[in-house]
Amino acid sequence: MEVYLDNAATTRVFDSVKNIMMETLGVDYGNPSSMHQKGIDAEKYIKDARELLAKSLKVDTKEIIFTSGGTESNNMAVIGTAYGYKRSGNHIITTRIEHPSIHNPLLFLEENGYRVSYIPVDQNGNIIMEELLNAVCNDTILVSVMYVNNEVGSVQNISEISKRIKEKNPKVLLHVDAIQAFGKYRIYPRREGIDLLSISGHKIHGPKGSGVLYVRDKVKIKPILFGGGQQKGMRSGTENVPAIAGIGQAVSDIYENHEQKRETLYQLKRTLIEGVKQIEGVTVNCLGNTLTDTAPHIVSVSFDGIRSEVLLHALEDKGIYVSSGSACASNHPDLSGTLKAIGLKENLLDSTLRFSFSVFTTMEDIEYTINILNELVPVLRKYSRH
């Protein structure tokens, strides 16, 4: 039996996504900048995808920029805004649990004279509002906060964050990394006070190498790629039509029967949590006050006395695929900054796995996983003690 529970890393593409991509690869393969019919046919896929994204977010099509994925969207948002508002200030605020595609661009900006404040979170992974507001000052130009944390599934109150920071400094822009949230929540940037929003296609059953950056009209960001001036000069380079068509189709499909899909994910999450809690020496992280305070598709579990890598491969031998943290940072030996930030005990930092679900995950998958964990954990723990 094969059970894939690493959907926060990547998801299987929908068949509809695969089909539309094949059309753009084999039939409508023209360059969308070409003036002949082949180019016009290719350009229509981009136009249709842009309209699907704009409709989903309830924004204008001109506010949608297609990128190569979440990392580029985050880099463009952070670096582009920093340079676009250089005359207004040099202070940026973020949290201690952001993805490396936010953290590392900010390190780059710090090396180039910008000042960055890193706001702590509580044990449930929620930003400490008082600390955030204390950090906002006259030269703050940007606050960047992820909607859903990719490792522990904590969910930030974006509307409240936007309201509070803009009350203190109306000029502050809010960027939201919604890469784990989009497709799980209905997100409307204008309603929630979001100025820039990052989306990744391969987290919602679209293709890898596809992404979106929403930039509110009148927000001025500098491009970080230069070339032929595609996408109104904001993101030069021949558009990746298959990827753009694919993410458009994924957005269309992911929000069909959305509430039912989300409720199913919560049922899977509840079952897994209840199951692993019966195992001795197991801690479920960032549960919040209620289950729905957290994202429906992510569960972080610590197994005292067992190294995460050992348990990960033991599960793999049984056909179960999970993650020991962010897949985007999995090649780095450092322990998770997110787990440290929530105050996880030191002995559990290297004993934590992430289980993440999708619309393809079944209750049978979860029940099988619980049974295998009950079988493996006592044996591995006994072996580890020796």
Count the neighbouring beta carbons within 10 Å of the beta carbon of residue 186: 15
DSSP 335: P
Nearest 5°: CA angle at 175, between 169 and 179? 155
Backbone angles phi, psi at 340, to 5 degrees: -65, -40
Structure tokens given for 144? 């960047």
Beta bridge partners, 353, equal 301
Task: Give the length of the chain.
Answer: 386
Q: How many CB atoms lie within 10 A of CB 227?
A: 11
User: Structure tokens of 269?
Assistant: 């999450």
Q: Compute CA 174 distance to the chain's CA centroid, rounded to the nearest angstrom.
A: 16
Go through 243-259 and write b for each residue having 16 or more CB atoms within 10 A of its CB, e for each that does not: bbbbbbbbbbbbbeeee
Active-site residue set: 328
Convert 304-315 into a string of H (helix), E (strand) and C (coil).
Answer: CCCCHHHHHHHH
Cα–Cα nearest to 199, from 296, 380, 63, 308: 63
**Residue in 181, 252, 254, 225 with CA at minimum distance from that of residue 66:** 225
How many alpha carbons lie under 13 Å from residue 51 in its C-beta half-sphere?
Answer: 6
Report how far apart, in Å, the C-alpha atoms of 341 and of each of 11, 121, 156, 351 are.
27, 7, 15, 16
What are the residues whose beta carbons fall under 8 Å from the beta carbon of 228, sequence distance 6 or more?
Answer: 33, 236, 237, 238
